[in-house]
Amino acid sequence: MAELIQIGHDGHITTVLMNRPEKLNALTEDMFMAMTREIHRASGDPTVRAVVIAGSGKAFSAGADIKGYVDHGLDAFVHFQRLGRALNDAIAAAAVPVIAVVEGLALGGGFEIALACDFIVAGPNARFGLPEVKLGLLPGGGGTQRLPRIIGHQQAKSLLFTGDTLDAQSALEQGIVLAVAEDPHEQARRLAGRFLPWPRRAIAAIKQAVNEASPLEIGLALEYQSLLALYQSPEGQEGMRAFVEKRPPRFRDLGGSGEGGREP
């Protein structure tokens, strides 16, 4: 069995590569834990000056592996969400800049990992989205909180209410992406290189000051409680089961009968 993540080192830059290409790097509990350990390790290593997170194959990450919790009950869902949030919290709190290199899909939890990073560098084929509404759920890894802080409430609500995706150029224009490049890995290395001359402690202090400028923790707590309620609702259960069964969801709270939209 291949390793779920692969770690690379290039001078003072550590790369964390999600490695489930056959599943479009769909996120599992083991992936969350392995990535969190590596982020903590890199953050505590004085020789590391930047971290790059990327995906192997054709995608950054298509999001959570829903089969891992759809029929396993609330406790399993809570455990899965806590692990995902722990990873994103570790990324946001890391003492070094963290750069997401996005090629292909960055959806749901995959997009939330990228949003927790300090910068996103995208390839021309990148696509970003939070399709949880199509499952009768909401993003639970910070998407409802971090995205509005980047693009504003109206643009964020439009994406969250519809589950639509953005291409790389649109994400660049809205400020989600810092740069679009034919070789986003090289672009990320050049970006990281710009931080290397400056004191690690100063970079960490600047990052903390920017990230803690608003009560993010309050919003994240509300997001989490709302997600648990939706997971237990009939619509949430139907949306996830329909996704796994590869059929349109049959939601009952649409103000009438009928089927929901297409699968995310």
From 38, 132, 235, 238, active-site residue: 132
Radius of gyration of the chain from Cα atoms?
18
From 103, 112, 223, 238, active-site residue: 112
Tokens read off for 264: 């995310």
pLDDT tens-digit profile, the chain (264 residues): 469 999 999 999 999 999 999 999 999 999 999 999 999 999 999 999 999 999 999 999 999 988 767 777 899 999 999 999 999 999 999 999 999 999 999 999 999 999 999 999 999 999 999 999 999 999 999 999 999 999 999 999 999 999 999 999 999 999 999 999 999 999 999 999 999 999 999 999 999 988 887 788 888 888 888 889 898 888 888 888 898 898 999 888 665 434 444 333
Q: What local confidence, expressed as pLDDT, does residue 65 receive?
A: 86
Diameter of the chain measured on Cα atoms: 61
Domains delineated in the chain: 5-185 (3.90.226.10)
φ, ψ of residue 98 in degrees (nearest 5): -120, 125
Rounded CA-CA distance 33/254 in Å is 37
- Strand, coil or helix: 137: coil
Does residue 223 carry a catalytic annotation? no
Which residues are 127's β-sheet partners? 105, 167
Does residue 132 carry a catalytic annotation? yes
The per-residue b/e assignment along 226-247, b for 16 or more CB within 10 angstroms, e otherwise, is ebbebbeeebbbbbbbbbeeee
